Structure 1
Amino acid sequence: HVYVRRDDTTAMAMSWIIYLLGHNMEVQDRLALEVDSLFDDLNSEIKADGSNGSTTEITLDAIKQLKYLDCVVKEGLRLCPSVPLIGRSATEDMTISGHTVPAGTVIYCFIYQLHRDPEIFPDPEVFNPDRFLPENSGGCHPFAYVPFSAGPRNCIGQKFA
């Protein structure tokens, strides 16, 4: 069972990723193969008493081997960011696209829409974790994908989510 709180950003991200996997069986099957392979590797060691090592502890190092899982999570957060809109106050007067923005003005970044820009993410409405494989993800602006915000006021929990 997965228990979630309605207002928890990590729980919402997990819920959307599970939803996306439920609607994309090919991705779900590929992810299951990767996870099963990791468990097979961990369980292949025979314990000293001769029993199967089925109680092997899952470590952070083992989880880091799940490269496709990382892609699935990133793609899920691209399509369904936990915080789809963020606001920041302009600290000084500035000009953006010919428009003057006075200091103190709240500027909003609609992350949901940014992550659906077809110039950055071809076929933006398609759930495609492969777009985050190393060979496919180069050349993007560092702020093109910001599920946890960016800069000095980004999410302090992003490394733990």
Structure 2
Amino acid sequence: MAITTLLLQGGTLPALIRVLGIRGVDATADLRESATLFDDLADTGLRVLETPDSILGAGTIVEPDVIERVRQDTFLRSESSWERAHVLEEKDAPSPHRQYRQLRLAVVQAEREALLTARREGRYPSRILAEAQRILDIEETRLRPRTAGH
């Protein structure tokens, strides 16, 4: 009985899926949708920079470089999303975000070497070195490429 049920239902399942138009997940389309969402979020989020004194307090002088840094970090997140969308199509295509990430990762790795030297030489207290190590670990994790499904 169980075999008959499996054969009957299992044999009709592909036809039913086609009739209902059920499709699997399109990873590239999902990544594009995600990138579009992050663009929309960035557009909305960046509007708060138009009135920084509403966040920091009336009369607060904000350096233009600070505003630009926040803007660029926000753009990097969107750019990263678009890069993940394109990575499935063009594995070796260089992008500004990929270049940024590779260069920043090289800087962090050089900083890690300097940290190890400072530790060997005993130039800083261990609690300060441990905190610096934690910060470098977080930065390196953030910079490592993620796979398309993550």
TM-score bracket for the superposition, by shorter chain length:
under 0.3
Larger radius of gyration: 2
* TM-score, normalised via structure 2 length: 0.26
TM-score (norm 1): 0.25
Q: 1 or 2, which has the higher helix percentage?
A: 2
Q: Which fold has the larger relative contact order, with Cα–Cα distance below 8 Å and residues 6 or more apart in sequence?
A: 2
Higher strand proportion:
1
